[in-house]
Structure 1
Amino acid sequence: MTRIALATCAALPDLDRDDLPLQDALTGLGVEAVATVWDDPAVDWAGFDLVVIRSAWDYAQRRDEFLRWAEQVQAVTRLANPSSVVRWNTDKHYLRELELAGVPVVPTMWIEPAQNLSSRALHTRFPAHGDFVIKPAISAGSVDTGRYTAIDATSRGLAITHARRLLGADRTIMVQRYLKSVDTVGERAHVFIDGEHSHSVLKGAMLDGPDVGVDGIYKEERMSPTTASAAEIEVSRNAIAVALDTVRASSPAGTDLESFLYARVDVVSGDDDEPVLMELELVEPSLFTSLAEGSLDRLAQAVLRRATAGR
């Protein structure tokens, strides 16, 4: 019997509810699909035909350990997406590479711990008007992310405190202008399976104020089905193509990377109403298969193909 591990975290040992249907769908295909905690030393990863990263939501706090785990797993079996993808995509500096390659990206200012900026220096770097967002370059589930108002002194002070806390923990921060379309139109997430567009969902606005922590390991998302525009699909395909070329160039010889098993492309509308990339999620994204008929079957079949490739 084909054996597939669905990698999760200790806080969700039985998988996130978004991933449970995949386990059932794989079982229906005659596959033994096992929820496995990624940092459990008792797991024999070589005993699986494929390891699929799913609910590993705690990697951001332990990224170096997670990268070592991904490389160790890939040394003994197939990993989806591969370790080179994990290394590239778990640090949002990848957005710089996509932007340099011509992918429209939400304008971002990067502030590094090594700059050792004072509170006043941070103040001068924040936008002068509108709302803006502060987030760490390595994060998942909108943890450690806050929204602030540029012209409100109290809000600006909270932003400085937030930034200094992250920088003091040796974490790069991203400062992004909050685009009004997130509130009026919403963020759109376009899911691709094995390189093909599967379905799209609309994400309700999640940030309504300063970072106050998260009760759990991620912020809850409010989702509904939506139809993707041609422009959004074009931007999504371009981002995925650039990512594939970039990761292939840094992958070890023999790495199978004809396509990503899954990719989620999150876009918003810019000031000109054209789509811009918010994030390209290639490691542990929620895929919302419950909101699109046929998408769960497409995902399960793609996973099975990866697990049995080369037999």
Structure 2
Amino acid sequence: MLAPLAARGVTVEAAIWDDPAVDWSGYDLVVLRSPWDYALRRDEFVAWAQKVPCLVNPADVVAWNTDKRYLAELSAAGVPTVPTAWVEPGQSWVPPADSGEYVIKPAVSAGSQDTGRYDLADPEHRELAAAHVRRLTAAGRVAMVQPYLNAVDTSGETALLFLAGPDGLAFSHAIRKGPMLTGPDLGVAELYKKEQIDPRTAGPDQLAVAQQTLAAVPGGPDRLLYARVDLIPGPDGAPVLVELELTEPSLFIGYADAAPDRLAAAITTHLARQP
């Protein structure tokens, strides 16, 4: 991003969000990119975001998007979303009686950390799934339990990337992510599992779900610098939302030739909006 921004006369400095020596008010724009250590310090991160002038995406979006319970709100708004059960701290949880596969992860997380896949037909997996939920809730975290969508093993996951333009948020490019979850989470810290990433052409049905998702963002999508909408085919083949990444997404700009320029243009668009 440095070259296309420099070509537009934009000076860039990388800074760490929790560095007390940084004067955030000294910047015309602060762009969130990779604060992937916030998951275990979310309250501190959200409080920091609220104090930063000219932050994109905005602090209220950060507060909403860093807790995956936003999926329940989007589902209530009519967005096709992977079914999710939520287990609060202090609640007990028993694995479903059926023998399907499920994914368990915390509601506040980054990457693949604390995420596992369980085949509930396997007695050992059932015990490990219950232990995973207990481990999360005992730490004061909300656990989320979702059916594993088997289409990710064949079709993969589609990430649709949107960047700000002169007329609001616009589709930029899409990529395909192959399956990552191979089994239970055993409590070993692992932020990112190895991914297979390839460019992908987004279909009309995927674009429609993505636009429906973005339209339901509190405050509307036109305030956003970027958005990533992650979709997987559901049991009937229609795309369903897995995650909406508005805080620290990998934007995969290396997978579309013009994407770096589009992101640089998006940043200059937001710079021009600042008082």
Matching residue of 1:131: 101
Question: 1:55-97: CA deviations, max 9, x gaps?
Answer: 1001111000001110111xxx310000000000000010000
Instruction: Give yes or no for the alignment of 1:181 onto 2:155.
Output: no
Of 190, 193, 197 in structure 2, the residue corresponding to residue 219 of structure 1 is 193
Change (3 A) 1:310 1:89: closer
Matching residue of 1:71: 50
* RMSD over aligned Cα atoms: 1.5
Distance (whole Å) between structure 2 residues aligned to residue 269 and residue 107 of structure 1: 13
Distance (whole Å) between structure 2 residues aligned to residue 259 and residue 247 of structure 1: 8
Matching residue of 2:179: 205
Matching residue of 2:213: 239
Distance (whole Å) between structure 1 residues aligned to residue 58 and residue 219 of structure 2: 10
Question: 1:86-134: CA deviations, max 9, x gaps?
Answer: 000000010000000100000111111132x1xxxx23x4351221100
Instruction: Give yes or no for the alignment of 1:87 onto 2:63.
Output: yes
Distance (whole Å) between structure 2 residues aligned to residue 70 and residue 262 of structure 1: 17
Instruction: Give yes or no for the alignment of 1:33 onto 2:20.
Output: no
Moved over 6 A (4+): none
TM-score of the superposition, structure 1-length normalised? Answer: 0.84
Change (3 A) 1:126 1:247: farther
Distance (whole Å) between structure 1 residues aligned to residue 267 and residue 23 of structure 2: 20
CA contact (8 A) 1:130 1:150 kept: yes
SS at match of 2:86: strand
SS at match of 2:22: coil
Q: CA deviation at 1:213?
A: 4.8
Amino acid corresponding to residue 257 of structure 2 in structure 1: E
Instruction: Give yes or no for the alignment of 1:262 onto 2:226.
Output: yes
Change (3 A) 1:286 1:104: same
Distance (whole Å) between structure 2 residues aligned to residue 100 and residue 156 of structure 1: 30
Question: 1:189-241: CA deviations, max 9, x gaps?
Answer: 00000110000000010100011356653334321000101000000000001
Question: 1:28-49: CA deviations, max 9, x gaps?
Answer: 3221111100000000111100
TM-score of the superposition, structure 2-length normalised? Answer: 0.94
Distance (whole Å) between structure 1 residues aligned to residue 178 and residue 274 of structure 2: 42
Matching residue of 2:254: 290
SS at match of 2:112: coil
Instruction: Give yes or no for the alignment of 1:166 onto 2:142.
Output: no
Q: Greater share of helix residues, 1 or 2?
A: 1
Structure 2 alignment gaps of length 5 or more: none
CA contact (8 A) 1:132 1:175 kept: yes
Matching residue of 2:23: 44
Structure 1 alignment gaps of length 5 or more: 1-21, 249-256
Aligned pair count reads 271
CA contact (8 A) 2:113 2:190 kept: no
